[in-house]
Structure formats: C-alpha cells, structure tokens
Amino acid sequence: YPSENIRNFSIIAHVDHGKSTLADRLLELTGTIRKGHGQPQYLDKLQVERERGITVKAQTATMFHRHNLHGTDTEFLINLVDTPGHVDFSYEVSRSLAACQGVLLVVDAAQGVQAQTVANFYLAFEANLSVIPVINKIDQPTADPDRVIEQLKSMFDLDPKEALLTSAKTGQGLEQVLPAVIERIPPPPGKSSSPLRMLLLDSYYDEYKGVICHVAVVDGALRKGEKISSAATGQSYDVLDVGIMHPELIQTGVLLTGQVGYVVSGMRSTKEARVGDTLYQYRSVVDPLPGFKPVKHMVFSGVYPADGSDFEALNIAIEKLTCNDASVSVAKESSTALGLGFRCGFLGLLHMDVFHQRLEQASHVISTVPTVPYIFEYSDGSKVHIQNPAMLPSNPKQRVTACWEPTVIATIIIPSEYVGAIITLCSERRGEQLEYSFIDSQRAFMKYRLPLREIVVDFYNELKSITSGYASFDYEEADYQASDLVKLDILLNGQPVDAMATIVHRLKAQRVGRELVEKLKKFIDRQMFEIIIQAAIGSKIIARETLSAMRKNVLAKCYGGDITRKKKLLEKQKEGKKRMKRVGSVDIPQEAFHELLKVS
Ligand code: GDP
Ligand code: MG
C-alpha cells in the first residue's frame, strides 16, 4: 500500500453520541468483524469499559475498502483510531489524533453540540486535521439534524453541505462514510524514501508476546528482523514481530510509511515504552518527532491494604495494573494510621474510579480522600508541592506565607432554563464566569474558571442532578491561582488520623469540618468504648461528635441461645470486617473513607 492509498482517521464525539457503535458498523461494513459477533462495541475491550459503557483506552483497527477514486478502482487501507469519550482522557484523544490526518466529528441529532463536542473539535482543529461532521442517530423521533447543522455552522464554521446524516443503529447513511474518509481526508504525508521514524502511540503487556507497542510509521518502513532505537531512552531493540490490528494482531512482517500497527521488540516492561517517543532505525540519525505533552496528574489518592490483605499483594496488583496504564503515577508512602501503601496520581476522577475498581478485583484496599496538587510557600521562601495533605504539618514551625491551587477552565452547555442553577452552583464552588452566550435559541454556552478541587468533589453528579441530566461538561487544565487554604485534621479520640486530613479553602473549613464529622459518626460502627470524632485546624477544634459506647449486654441478649443464628451473624460480621481498617483502637470501615469523598 503506497501511502496515497492509506487513510488514518479517528472518531471524536461527546460521550454516548454513538462513536463506538459507528466504529463497529464500519468494521462490519468492511468485513473486518462479522456482523452480529455477539459483542457489542468491539473496540471497547476492557471489562470496566463494557460495564460502564465508556472507552478508556484508544483502540486501533485496520480495515480494507475498495473505492473508485478519480476513475480508478483502488483498495484502500484505512486505520481507525477509536478515542475515549470522557473528559479525563482528553490526553488520550490528542495522542490518537497525532496518528491521524482527519476525524469524523459525531454529533447526536437530537442532543446537538455538547461540551465534549466543542473540546474535541478544537483538539482536531489545532492539530490541523480535516473534520467531517457526522450527524448520527437520525432515526430518533426527536432528531433535528437541521438544528445541529446550524450549530456546527455557527460554532465551528463547518459547511452545512459537508455534513453526513447517519444512523449507526439502522444503518442509514453509513455507505457515505468511508467514501467521505477516502475523498476528504488526505493520505499520510510521510516520505517512504526517508529513514524510518515512528511515533509510539501506546503500549500494553501481553502474557505471551510481552510488551506490544502501537506505532504510527511516519517516514520510511519498519521490517521484522531490523534493529530500532528509542530517542527517549537510547535503548536499542530487535524487531521480533510486526503487524496490523485487524483488529486482532495479524503479522505482516512490515509496516510502510503512513501505516499504524504494532511492534514487539523484546522490551521487558511497558515502562521502557514511553508514549510519544520516536523510534528509529538503529544507528541512523533523525530528528525526533514532536511527541506529546507529558501526562498531568490532576488527582492523587492513597491506596492501602485493607485488613486481611497484605502490602505485597497490593504491590503486585498495582504493578500489574500500571503495566497497562502508564498514565497512573505510583509512589510508595506510609501513613501512621494505615501503614505502608502507595500514593497514586490520576488524570481525573473517573480515571481514579476505574483504577480503584480494577484494583479491588485483585486486592482488598482502602483508598483515601483524593486531593489535587497544591503549592505551599513558607516564610523562609521554600516552596513545596503537596500531593498528600498529611505532608503538610498541622502546626508548621515555619509560617505558611502563600498557597496556590490548580484551576480548570470548564465548558458547560445547558438548555437555557438551567442557567440560573449553573450560576448558583459555580459560585458555591468558587467559580469565576468567563463567558456566557447562546449556541441556538434554546441552549446556553458558559465558561467558568473553577478551582480543580471544587470539581473533583462530586461536581459532575451535582451538575447532572440540578439540570435533570441535561448539562454537558468538559474542562481543561489552567493555571494555579493564589488561594487561602488550610489543612483540616480529623481526630479520633484525640489522635489525628493522617489519612483523613484534607486541604480546604478557609471560608469553607467550618462547614466541611462539620459535615465530615457527621458523616464519620454515621459510618463508624459503635464500639465497646466511646469515640470522640473531631475536626481541627491546627490546634483549634471546629467540630465535634461523640459516638457512645455499645452496651455490652446488648450482644448477649439478642444473640443468646440460637447457635446457628449466632454463627451466621459472626460469619456476616467477618464478611463486613474485610473492608475495615483499625486506626488506633477504632475500626473504620472502607465506606467511611469513601463517604468523606463526597463532602465539598
Ligand atoms: P459512544 O459513547 O460515543 O461510544 O456511544 P456508543 O456507541 O456507546 O452509543 C451510545 C448509545 O447510543 C448506545 O446505547 C447505542 O446503542 C446508541 N446509538 C448509537 N448510535 C445510534 C443511532 O444511530 N440511533 C440510535 N437510536 N441509537 C444509537
Ligand atoms: Mg464508546
């Protein structure tokens, strides 16, 4: 396949607008996968993705399609890169786009342009890609393609004549999609006569083959048996296997200019496969490709073994998971309350959730309240990056002279009747309005600068609930801003529990402290002794609750006699205990840690 017969494209869309379904239909249409293969959404590979209906990792598939272009019937090799739909993974979206020359911008015909449509459009636009608008779900009774065409024109200046109308469900209009890809998206621009340069897009670990790298060959060609080097690490490798994702791995022995495929090269760990790295012919001299922005971790949380599981098991489980998700950062840490564990950094809340969910399938864990990365400055001029509130002394010997917190620019699109509710929510969350306009007669477009901390804690759920699910939301990271922050400690019977400390804005400290203490009272079971739960800033107690002791005879009375019932109860208690963590002398269930998450 000469590169003029190759097309690389991606599908971008707001979540649920039909990207994965459309991808599946195109794979069926080209015979790449069988129709009705029984597994909806072929490209959503991972189990959590299936369960939650989201695409976390971009998947690539190669298909073949005959098309008559300029009077010649030609077979084209078309690479489709599926992209994640959720805001946390915009980093993965821009990565996928680096291997493409064009995109299908899929928009739901009834919902119209949503926040991620805007964000994704700009990612493609900034990367100079051809954009083909696809208005999908035209089979729905509430579909209004004309209105969507109008929005695309007014917001992105897209030509109404260029829009394709499809239903990935009924198949209507799908026959126009691949011809449009072939005719409107340019072939990859690389030079086949130049020395090999390829971009490392992604990597994962396969039990049988070892590290598998997804690559885009920009210039030259890659052949099995050759030797390649990494621009990032300087390491060299023998090319053991080369091929395409069809979507199963198919050995081809060679990847030509413009192709996207996989390579196995005897790397021992995915840590050697730096995403965004340039791989080139051993000993040749090339300029590395631009690469990607480094991963930015927005949220950090501690992960500790729950009672009944050990650190080593957790270590192994984390090692295994990060092998296939290099975007999680992991560092050992220790907590007085919870012992030895890890501090993990994530791209966002969903990313964190997905990771925790996978981790729990392998190991019993306690995860601590997530925190965003703050910067604190002390009176001696030193600045520290705080990724764990416990790292901040409660009574610093040196005075804190300034602190900064990360902010985001949020885009919110809502039916106009919800504008008031959004303004209230965003001001409660310390937001600053940057823009407020209308994208058509019924929909408002709002831009806010918000502290990252305020959207990390339950913002999305709140947003959805006050707008009956109609709001769409996306955010991009922005600068740090100066802020008046304090450390809030939680004390159980006078002992600070380091794993429960949080950093909050001074004006919110009182309310947050109150709520945390009330939540804990609800979720910690009564024990044989009294428990005093307190919230404090430095040495000042700002909230207090008392959990009275369990009366001893209660147990004896209700469990007396019936031995099988007693056994059952004990069994049940043991079950519940798995997720307990003993802090000092107090047993704290996992849910208590989890509930702290929801206080903002
Ligand atoms: P993604 O999040 O963009 O990947 O969206 P999915 O492909 O997972 O689709 C979201 C939902 O919309 C699924 O329930 C699909 O079955 C449904 N869907 C996708 N395309 C169409 C369509 O053309 N018409 C209708 N009525 N439903 C569709
Ligand atoms: Mg999807």
Q: Percentage of the chain surpassing pLDDT 90? A: 50
E-state strands within 123-226:
130-136, 164-165, 197-206, 210-219, 222-223
Could you list which residues have their CB under 5 Å from ion ligand 2? 20, 55
pLDDT at 554: 43
Taking the C-alpha atoms of residue 271 and residue 205, their distance in angstroms, rounded to an integer, is 10
Span from the CA of 85 to the centroid of ligand 1 (angstroms): 12
The residue whose C-alpha atom lies closest to atom 14 belonging to ligand 1 is 16
Span from the CA of 381 to the centroid of ligand 1 (angstroms): 54
Q: Is the CB of 18 under 6 A from ligand 1?
A: yes
Span from the CA of 589 to the centroid of ligand 2 (angstroms): 35
Span from the CA of 439 to the centroid of ligand 1 (angstroms): 24
pLDDT at 597: 67
**Structure confidence at residue 600 as a pLDDT band (50, 70, 90):** low
Which atom of ligand 1 is found nearest the CA of 170?
A: 23
SS3 60: strand
**Structure confidence at residue 269 as a pLDDT band (50, 70, 90):** confident
Across 531-536, average pLDDT: 93
In 3D space, the residue among 591, 564, 586 whose CA is nearest the CA of residue 576 turns out to be 591
141 preceded by cis ω (within 30°)? no
pLDDT at 393: 80
pLDDT tops 80 at residue 377:
yes
Residue 155 in contact with residue 118, Cβ under 8 Å? yes
Instruction: Determine which helix (DSSP H) or strand (DSSP E) holds 559, and give its type and residue range.
Output: helix 552-559
Count CA within 13 A, CB hemisphere, residue 249.
Answer: 14
- For residue 283, count CB atoms less than 10 angstroms from its CB and return exposed for 0-12, middle for 13-18, buried for 19 or more: exposed
Q: What is the pLDDT of residues 398-407, one digit of tens each?
A: 788 999 999 9
584 dihedral zone (left: phi>0; alpha: psi -120 to 50; beta): left
User: What's the Cα-to-Cα distance from 508 to each of 120, 376, 488, rounded to whole Å?
Assistant: 34, 18, 10
SS3 337: coil
pTM of the complete model: 0.79
What mean pLDDT, rounded, does the chain reach? 86
pLDDT at 20: 84
Residue 82 CB neighbours (<10 A): 26
Q: Is the CB of 270 under 6 A from ligand 1?
A: no
Residues of the chain by 3-state class (helix, strand, coil), percent to 5: 30, 35, 35
pLDDT tops 70 at residue 576:
no
Cα-flanking dihedrals φ and ψ of residue 87, to 5°?
-55, -35
User: What's the Cα-to-Cα distance from 205 to each of 208, 268, 272, 554, rounded to whole Å?
Assistant: 9, 9, 11, 54
Q: Is the CB of 169 under 6 A from ligand 1?
A: yes
Across 496-501, average pLDDT: 89
Considering only residues 78 and 294, tell me which one the structure prediction assigns the higher pLDDT: 78
Across 306-327, average pLDDT: 81
Span from the CA of 25 to the centroid of ligand 1 (angstroms): 11
Sign (positive or negative) of CA dihedral 368, 329, 457, 351? negative
Instruction: Give me the helix-helix angle, 115-126 and 90-97, nearest 10°.
Output: 40
pLDDT at 307: 67
Q: What is the pLDDT of residues 343-353, one digit of tens each?
A: 999 988 778 88
The residue whose C-alpha atom lies closest to atom 2 belonging to ligand 1 is 16
Q: Is the CB of 16 under 6 A from ligand 1?
A: yes
Q: What is the pLDDT of residues 134-179, one digit of tens each?
A: 999 999 999 999 999 999 999 999 999 999 999 999 999 999 999 9
Q: What is the pLDDT of residues 25-64, one digit of tens each?
A: 999 999 887 776 555 555 555 555 555 555 555 578 899 9
Taking the C-alpha atoms of residue 155 and residue 152, their distance in angstroms, rounded to an integer, is 5
What length is written for the chain?
600
Q: What is the pLDDT of residues 89-104, one digit of tens each?
A: 666 677 778 889 999 9
E-state strands within 461-598:
472-482, 485-492, 495-496, 502-505, 531-537, 540-547, 580-583, 586-589
Sign (positive or negative) of CA dihedral 284, 286, 289, 294? positive
Q: Percentage of the chain surpassing pLDDT 70? A: 88
pLDDT tops 70 at residue 566:
no
Across 257-283, average pLDDT: 89
pLDDT at 553: 46
Taking the C-alpha atoms of residue 289 and residue 292, their distance in angstroms, rounded to an integer, is 9
Across 385-408, average pLDDT: 87
Q: What is the pLDDT of residues 443-495, one digit of tens each?
A: 999 999 999 999 887 788 889 889 988 898 888 889 999 999 999 999 999 98
pLDDT at 557: 47
Taking the C-alpha atoms of residue 40 and residue 20, their distance in angstroms, rounded to an integer, is 9
Q: Is the CB of 173 under 6 A from ligand 1?
A: no
SS3 51: helix
